[in-house]
Structure 1
Amino acid sequence: MNKRVTLADVAAHAGVSRATASLVIRDAGNLADSTRERVRSSMLALGYVYHRGAASLRASQTKTVGLILPDPAYAFMGEMAISLESALAERGLLLLTANAFEDPQRQERLLRALIENQVDGLVVLPALGTDEAFADRLAATGIPTVVTIRAEAAHRTTYVGIDNVRGGELAGEHLLAHGCRQFVYLGGLVGLRPRQDRMTGLNAALARVPGARLVAHRPGPALGRWARDAAARLLAEGPVPDAIVCHNDPVAFGVYRALRDVAPHLVDRVRVVAFDDVDEAALWEPPISSVAANGREVGRRTATALLRLMDDPLAEPEVVLLQPELVVRRSCGCPAA
């Protein structure tokens, strides 16, 4: 699929700002004739077409924002969506939420449906398997759009996410300080960018300590029920690792269920750190140490980024990367915090 020529491409070709290029195509502003001619020459050379119909649609507001989630089962995504909805409601905007269930084809249909309903903005948390062509289609809509949490479709739009590489490092460094040397990473679907980034950070931390290594990683849905069964198999196969790094808090819940069912004598021996820090993490027994860039904060920052684009159609895409923080509780072996 050929990449759609954007206004930013025209501006770069002509050596002007995107705002200047926009003034030229709208016959507005106090610009030199030579500047206008240069921009128009670039439009012709690149084959750029100004979609006046789309611009007209954007001028009329429906006061709605579309949100496409990959799977509503994850608590972190629920927290993010609630925070996003609350922040948008303060501006009188209604959030229309749709679930792709990790199906890129369904995601495409949802995108078309939201466009047909003339939403004023879009927030997309891409489904597993999303390709670059989908990112091109997002950019081509002309609708202010923010991709969040998963960067798969973010190369031409604003992205709000988490520094998961640093998050993996934080988990590894803390467990190494407890003397752990044999690690397992549990959960997260194969090909999922956050999983890849967290494992990259974890491996980087382990590489700095002689004798430390990742002895296994078990991919799978980041759900407690799956994690319980996967952890039970892990414990039965042996040897038992010093530490289990869990893709999210529900995976940690499943790990502890397996420990209590299969090997209760190991509950205090195996150190556990998870990710996301959902509300229930502090209520578990033991309370879960979790790398947090919590869903509520991601939702707030996503809303801020989207409102910026909606308020200023000429605003350039940006990358907002939240820095994670390790919330220390007892599952990692620390005394009660």
Structure 2
Amino acid sequence: MSGTVTLQDVADHAGVSRATASLVLRETGRVSQQTRQRVAESMQKLGYVYNRGAASLRTQTANTIGVVVTNIASPFFGELIHGLETGLTDSGYLPLLVNTGDNPDRQHEAIRKLREHQVAGLALVPATGTSPSLVDELRTWGLEHVLMTRYIKNVDAPYVGADDVVGGRLAATHLIEAHGCETIAYLGGLPAILSRTDRTKGVKEALKRNGLDGSSLIDIPGAVNSVSGLDLGQRLIEAGPLPDGIICHSDSIAFGLYRALRIHGLGTSTRVIGYDNIGGAALWEPPLTSVDTKGEALGRRAARMLLERIQEPGSPASIDKTIPQLAVRQSCGCE
């Protein structure tokens, strides 16, 4: 067939009305499976492509979801996005992914552009320093949203993430009670990141519960990547005797720390616990003990919460916090 194939062409070829063909395209209405199959075959044979952009302009809706994250290079966010994408695409939505580099200004611009694309909802990992007013703006715009892994302090917003106080406490308790550690370093994470604040709070709770005071904690903030882990590890080593145990803000930081220890010939001279339990954690030597936050499952739950909010706009904000578990391997001293 020459020229642009129209929906009417598809309907004529399939022997149905244009309205029925439209229902099949939009996956709505009461249409038999046999008819749906016939329309689908006609679309394929004629080479028809559904213009969803034009359809969204007509209906003021879109089957796209804005996904805004702070660091697309992070292995943990890769797992989170994979789970989120699976949950969205299974329900007929297409995610539009944007990376902010953890910059609030870039985040604001990204959300503005996503609104221009008339996204049906927004899944957001807030950049460090995000203003509480952002959530008010999203509500004013009528844009349903879910915050992932990071919340905004003193803001009532839908949220899916791990309980980081529990995670920090879990790691420190294991080092203290299972391995007798009396000094612990917490490595990485920028001070303004609330997840870091919560994790170190959990570490301090574990120290206090076991009769150890604040001097038992060596707190060294920094960026969240392997290069930073190498640098922070070098600084920790050069500062003096190694602590009995080290908790890293992420597995990536732990991998950089591993390198620093090997450079100085220290190998397994201290006990190390990572955070997030990414897919490669078990492949390093020694295999990395890590706080498991189940990133892919978090993404699927975030998708489910957002889709529910799109179906019921303006519903009360709900909080979904995962209780982390410790994936015990050899880096902490366990066999």
Whether TM exceeds 0.5 here: the answer is yes
Number of equivalent positions: 278
Indicate how the Cα distance of structure 1 residues 57 and 179 shifts in structure 2: closer, same or farther if over 3 A, else same.
farther
Indicate how the Cα distance of structure 1 residues 58 and 240 shifts in structure 2: closer, same or farther if over 3 A, else same.
farther
Give me the whole-angstrom Cα distance separating, in 1, the residues matched to 2:107 and 2:58. 22
Give me the whole-angstrom Cα distance separating, in 1, the residues matched to 2:212 and 2:144. 49
Matched, 1:203 2:204: yes
SS in 1 for 2:180: coil
SS in 2 for 1:151: coil
C-alpha displacement of 1:167:
0.4
Query: What amino acid maps onto 1:312 in structure 2?
Result: E
- 2:162 corresponds to: 162
Q: Deviations over 1:237-268 (max 9, x none)?
A: 2121001100010111111111111133xx33
Matched, 1:290 2:293: no
- 1:140 corresponds to: 140
After superposing the two structures, state which structure 1 stretch, 271-280 or 314-323, moved more.
314-323
Indicate how the Cα distance of structure 1 residues 181 and 288 shifts in structure 2: closer, same or farther if over 3 A, else same.
same
Give me the whole-angstrom Cα distance separating, in 1, the residues matched to 2:174 and 2:236. 22
RMSD: 1.8
SS in 2 for 1:113: helix
* 8 A Cα contact 1:182 1:242, kept in partner: yes
Query: What amino acid maps onto 1:325 in structure 2?
Result: Q
Q: How does 1:254-273 map to 2 (within 5 A)?
A: 254-264=256-266, 267-273=267-273
Indicate how the Cα distance of structure 1 residues 90 and 153 shifts in structure 2: closer, same or farther if over 3 A, else same.
farther
- 1:216 corresponds to: 218
Q: Deviations over 1:40-71 (max 9, x none)?
A: xxxxxxxxxxxxxxxx9996431000011112
C-alpha displacement of 1:274:
1.1
SS in 2 for 1:166: helix
SS in 1 for 2:156: coil
Give me the whole-angstrom Cα distance separating, in 2, the residues matched to 1:106 and 1:58. 30
Give me the whole-angstrom Cα distance separating, in 1, the residues matched to 2:117 and 2:187. 40
Q: Deviations over 1:23-50 (max 9, x none)?
A: xxxxxxxxxxxxxxxxxxxxxxxxxxxx
Q: Deviations over 1:160-190 (max 9, x none)?
A: 1110000011001100021001111000012
- 2:240 corresponds to: 238
Give me the whole-angstrom Cα distance separating, in 1, the residues matched to 2:192 and 2:138. 21
Give me the whole-angstrom Cα distance separating, in 2, the residues matched to 1:314 and 1:182. 48
C-alpha displacement of 1:153:
6.8
Q: Deviations over 1:249-291 (max 9, x none)?
A: 0111111111111133xx3330111110000101111111111
**Percent identity of equivalent pairs:** 40
After superposing the two structures, state which structure 1 stretch, 70-79 or 148-157, moved more.
148-157
Give me the whole-angstrom Cα distance separating, in 2, the residues matched to 1:303 and 1:257. 37
Query: What amino acid maps onto 1:180 in structure 2?
Result: C
Query: What amino acid maps onto 2:93 in structure 1?
Result: L
- 2:189 corresponds to: 188
Give me the whole-angstrom Cα distance separating, in 2, the residues matched to 1:70 and 1:103. 8
Q: How does 1:1-337 map to 2 (within 5 A)?
A: 60-152=60-152, 155-177=155-177, 178-211=179-212, 213-264=215-266, 267-335=267-335
* 8 A Cα contact 2:185 2:247, kept in partner: yes
Give me the whole-angstrom Cα distance separating, in 2, the residues matched to 1:128 and 1:275. 19
Give me the whole-angstrom Cα distance separating, in 2, the residues matched to 1:293 and 1:218. 22
* 8 A Cα contact 2:66 2:114, kept in partner: yes
Indicate how the Cα distance of structure 1 residues 138 and 57 shifts in structure 2: closer, same or farther if over 3 A, else same.
farther
* 8 A Cα contact 1:245 1:272, kept in partner: yes
User: TM-score of the superposition, structure 2-length normalised?
Assistant: 0.80
Give me the whole-angstrom Cα distance separating, in 1, the residues matched to 2:307 and 2:107. 23
Give me the whole-angstrom Cα distance separating, in 2, the residues matched to 1:279 and 1:319. 26
C-alpha displacement of 1:315:
2.6
The structure with more radius of gyration = 2
* 8 A Cα contact 1:135 1:153, kept in partner: no
C-alpha displacement of 1:214:
3.6
Give me the whole-angstrom Cα distance separating, in 2, the residues matched to 1:211 and 1:58. 64
Indicate how the Cα distance of structure 1 residues 107 and 208 shifts in structure 2: closer, same or farther if over 3 A, else same.
same
Give me the whole-angstrom Cα distance separating, in 2, the residues matched to 1:153 and 1:200. 15
Give me the whole-angstrom Cα distance separating, in 1, the residues matched to 2:185 and 2:130. 27
Name structure 2 gaps, 5 residues minimum.
1-55
* 8 A Cα contact 2:60 2:118, kept in partner: no
Query: What amino acid maps onto 2:290 in structure 1?
Result: S
C-alpha displacement of 1:211:
3.9
Structure 1 stretches of 4+ moved >6 Å = 56-59
